[in-house]
Amino acid sequence: MNTRHINFLHKQLDEKPPKRGRTKWVFLLVIIGIFGFLTYSYVSANKDRFLNPLDYDPVTLEPKEPEGFFKKLTYLVFHKETKLEGQRNDRINILILGMGGLGHDGPYLTDTIMIASVRPSDNDVALVSIPRDLGVKIKDYGTRKINHANHFGEMEKENWGAAFATEVISETFDIDIPYYIRVDFQAFEDIIDEVGGVRVNVDRTFTDYMYPAPNDRYQTISFETGPQTMNGSTALKFVRSRHGGSGEGSDFARAARQQKVILALKEKVLSFGTLTNPVRIKKVIDALERHMTTNMEFDEILELVRVVRNLDTEKITTLVLDNGVNGYLVNSTGANGAFLLFPRTGNYNEINSAIKNVFDPEAIVESIDDTPEQEKPTLNWATIEIQNGTWRAGLAARVKQRLADEEFYIEDIGNTDPEFKPVISSGIYKISDKESLEVVEALQDELHMPTKETLPDGTLSPATSTDILIILGDDFIE
């Protein structure tokens, strides 16, 4: 029998400890494999999950927990509650833009510019209306009307207008605006018709004899004092009217009407559960896809609906930046004579403070609504005629409407001689001896068109009353 001697005081050189390293690595690989499987399962199962309205509870609007052990496990490990940007800081800012859209004059010029701010902690909401004539600095374009920002962005890259406008407005007012929603006139009508119309209280009776109609015409529209139920078409007329009487002809009165309709729409949608069903919301979004642009994901839209459905309409704060005697803005003109509004203090500090503290009424320097409005500085009067030198049907009529909206006086429109069409280049021609340099410069700024002296071949004799003739050539960009 062999005897083995062991010295317990000294480690035996030929004895090796058990090999545990390999076991550790095997265990680690198993854990990694399980984690990878769960990750793959979650990503595969949820690739389109938050785009499917059936994945949300129709009452709470919260995502439903999936069925099955592994799906529940992966949901528990990976799912994160949807939070809107700004929600943790108790202020969610959304830019709302309204534009005409394709088929309208100035399709990408924004008629409605509004910052909606939500404070979830106490169910407060504020609407800040920004006038379209506000003069702001736009990168690469200088000082221009704020309603051009969306247009400039759209010209640089398709569907980038709203994002570019959001950047400009965020920088101007020193406020973080993570979200934007842009709708055109068709979307506005469709949304209101989808919910069965809205009930709006009209503050005062007014008539607009110059509301735009098809084929370069005008129509007369009227609204009576008191509550009215409006369909999409009527509501659009109510918010777009710019030449109404009884004090309703200013952009500031129009901004107040826009706020009324938006609040009425919010009340209709949320009070009766009209659109708070995820399936219905998804259908409306899909139907409006061609007429609406937003950077909000579907789950973020549902989260926003969930947050705002408990808002008290009576607590909504509205702020309209206006040019009243004690308002935030004053009338001015740009370098080329275009009408602009600028801060009365010479900078945006006062306005930025008002927007920042919009939920704290004591911190806001209130604008006075009952003071008379200042008159617009008018350009020296001049009669303008437009001739279309292209084969683009209706071009002269569209440019006439665009200039009329900017307070130019257009007396006549027509076409150049068809035998000489198309005219290659556009131009502005001073016909009479009347002093109208200011008007010419304003036209150059608005149309981005040079002045010329020699009329092109095919120009028809302008009317005897014409001071300035505009020839629209093939190079003209609408």
pLDDT (tens digit per residue) in 274-300: 555 556 666 666 666 677 888 888 778
Produce one character per residue of 153-185: b if its CB has 16 or more CB atoms within 10 Å, e if not.
Answer: bbeeeeeebbbbbbbbbbebbebebbbbbbbbb
What confidence category does residue 265 fall into, taking pLDDT thresholds of 50, 70 and 90? confident
Tell whether the model's pLDDT for residue 383 goes beyond 80: yes
Q: Dig out the tokens for 33 from the structure.
A: 């494999």
Architecture of domain 92-363: 3-Layer(aba) Sandwich (3.40)
What confidence category does residue 185 fall into, taking pLDDT thresholds of 50, 70 and 90? confident
- Residues of the chain with pLDDT > 70: what percent? 70
Q: What is the pLDDT of residues 445-476, one digit of tens each?
A: 788 889 998 898 888 888 888 889 999 999 89
Tell whether the model's pLDDT for residue 1 goes beyond 60: no
What confidence category does residue 423 fall into, taking pLDDT thresholds of 50, 70 and 90? very high
Its sign, for the CA torsion 363, 367, 368, 369, is negative
Q: How many residues does the chain have?
A: 478
Tell whether the model's pLDDT for residue 106 goes beyond 80: no
Quote the pLDDT of residue 427.
93
Do 71 and 291 contact (CB within 8 A), yes or no?
no
Q: For the chain, how far is it from start to end, CA to CA, in angstroms? A: 109
Tell whether the model's pLDDT for residue 426 goes beyond 90: yes
Q: Which of 8-22, 39-53, 267-281 has the highest mean pLDDT?
A: 267-281
Q: What is the mean pLDDT of the chain?
A: 76
Do 395 and 441 contact (CB within 8 A), yes or no?
no
Its sign, for the CA torsion 77, 81, 82, 85, is negative
Tell whether the model's pLDDT for residue 62 goes beyond 50: yes
H or E, element range at 95: strand 92-99
Quote the pLDDT of residue 167.
95
Quote the pLDDT of residue 375.
40
Quote the pLDDT of residue 28.
55
Tell whether the model's pLDDT for residue 164 goes beyond 90: yes
Mean pLDDT of 205-234: 86
Mean pLDDT of 134-140: 90
CA dihedral 294, 358, 247, 201 (to 10 degrees): 70
Tell whether the model's pLDDT for residue 388 goes beyond 90: yes
Q: pTM of this prediction?
A: 0.59
Query: Of residues 267 and 48, which shows the higher confidence score?
Result: 267
For the stretch 35-41, contacts whose Cβ atoms lie closer than 8 Å and that sit 24 or more positions apart, written own/partner, are: 38/70, 38/73, 38/74, 38/77, 38/78, 39/74, 39/78, 41/70, 41/71, 41/74
**CA distances from residue 334 to 77, 90, 269, 331, 444 in whole angstroms, order as listed:** 58, 38, 42, 10, 12
Q: At 130, which amino acid appears?
A: I
Q: Dig out the tokens for 101 from the structure.
A: 């859209």
Instruction: Spell out the domain ranges in the chain.
Output: 21-78, 92-363, 384-472
Q: Which of 199, 334, 324 is nearest to 255 (CA)?
A: 324
CATH 3.40.50.620 for domain 384-472, yes or no, is: no
Task: Check residue 120 and report its DSSP letter.
Answer: G
Residues in CB range of 69: below 8 A, 6 or more apart: none
- Residues of the chain with pLDDT > 90: what percent? 19
Rounded Cα gap, residues 183 and 160, in angstroms: 14
Hey, which residues does 137 pair with through a beta bridge? 143
Q: What is the pLDDT of residues 147-163, one digit of tens each?
A: 999 999 988 988 899 99
Q: What is the pLDDT of residues 295-327, one digit of tens each?
A: 888 778 778 877 777 666 667 788 888 887 778
Mean pLDDT of 262-272: 71
Tell whether the model's pLDDT for residue 38 goes beyond 60: no
Residues in CB range of 11: below 8 A, 6 or more apart: none
Mean pLDDT of 85-113: 84
